[in-house]
Amino acid sequence: MQEVVQQLLECRVVGILRLPQSDLALRALEVAIEHGLRAVEVTMTTPNALEILRSARQQWYGKALVGAGTVLNAEEARAVIDAGAQFVVSPILDAGMVETALRANVPPIPGVFSPTEIFHAYRLGAPVVKVFPAVTLGTAFFKEMKAPLPQIPLMAVGGLNAHNAAEYLHAGADMVGVGGALFPKAAILAGEFEGVAQTAEALAALSHLHIQHA
């Protein structure tokens, strides 16, 4: 599990796939990975998410980490892990999800919104804690959290894009998740993937960013 966590922290960016149609999902993931992204997350709200997850894990084994997102409970955690998820992400903090993933030696990344929740998630065993929605709290929140809780790796998710992601990393986030800005629904449903390619390249470059904490 620690090896996956280390890889996530090194690449710094997770691409979050949330599309209303599953037939274009694998193509969108393929473009993002071809253009440098090394970690992607298939959300459970995407139709046929488990099938997409299985295919993605097989197709990019050893090239990119493939995780599952919007995992809300222990049952869903078991399902995505059985489908091959290498990490499990949630917008909420559910103890059953965290415990199920830990038992399977798969990193859980639960979602929180407050200092108390951050610490509670960490105490439950989460190796990384997702702060969501990050844009609502702003970059200053991450700077403030790193002072009293420097030992807890934080992932900023919600409202991030290729233009502001670096600001959150400099402020104290250890990694970021980018969804709609990387996988724009309208463009992908129209068969346009150029935006995915350009954004993936910009986000992939963040793994080489020299961090100067604010």
Find out whether 128 and 98 touch, Cβ atoms under 8 Å: no
pLDDT range class, residue 203, cuts 50, 70, 90: very high
Of the listed 3, 30, 34, 41, which one is catalytic?
Answer: 41
- Write down the domain spans for the chain: 2-208
**d(C-alpha 128, C-alpha 164), whole Å:** 21
Class of the domain covering 2-208? alpha beta
Sequence-distant (≥ 6) Cβ neighbours of residue 192 within 8 angstroms:
none
Span 131-148, mean pLDDT?
A: 97
Percent of the chain with pLDDT over 90: 95
Span 69-86, mean pLDDT?
A: 98
Does 192 qualify as catalytic in the annotation? no
Span 72-86, mean pLDDT?
A: 98
Token readout for 77 is 């955690």
Does 143 qualify as catalytic in the annotation? no
Per-residue pLDDT tens over the stretch 34-52: 999 999 999 999 999 999 9
pLDDT range class, residue 214, cuts 50, 70, 90: low
Sheet with 111-112, side-by-side order of all strands: 108-109, 88-89, 65-69, 39-43, 13-17, 175-178, 154-157, 129-131, 111-112
The confidence score (pLDDT) of residue 212 equals: 72
Per-residue pLDDT tens over the stretch 109-118: 999 999 999 9
pLDDT at 204 over 60: yes
DSSP lists the bridge partners of residue 28 as: none
pLDDT range class, residue 136, cuts 50, 70, 90: very high
Of the listed 10, 51, 76, 130, which one is catalytic?
Answer: 130
